[in-house]
Amino acid sequence: GINSIKSAEEKIFSGADLIQIYSGLVYHGPGVIRKIIKKL
């Protein structure tokens, strides 16, 4: 699952149009969404 900025970047830069970040929400809370969006 997507649980870090690095794993999100890997999927997006490999051509993904959409990522599911449920694992990130469970382990890191809702703030992970903002962190991933800022870095992308």
Q: For the chain (length 40 residues), average pLDDT per consecutive 10?
A: 88 93 90 88
Which two three-digit tokens encode residue 7? Answer: 């794993």
- What is the pTM for the complete model shown? 0.68
Looking at residue 2, its pLDDT comes to: 86
Looking at residue 18, its pLDDT comes to: 92
Domain limits for position 21: 5-39
Task: List, in order, residues 6 or more apart from 9 with CB less than 8 Å away.
Answer: 39, 40
CB 32 within 8 A of CB 25: yes
Looking at residue 12, its pLDDT comes to: 92
Number of domains in the chain: 1
CB 24 within 8 A of CB 4: yes
Looking at residue 3, its pLDDT comes to: 83
Looking at residue 20, its pLDDT comes to: 92
Q: Mutual orientation of helices 5-13 and 31-39 as an angle, nearest 10°?
A: 50
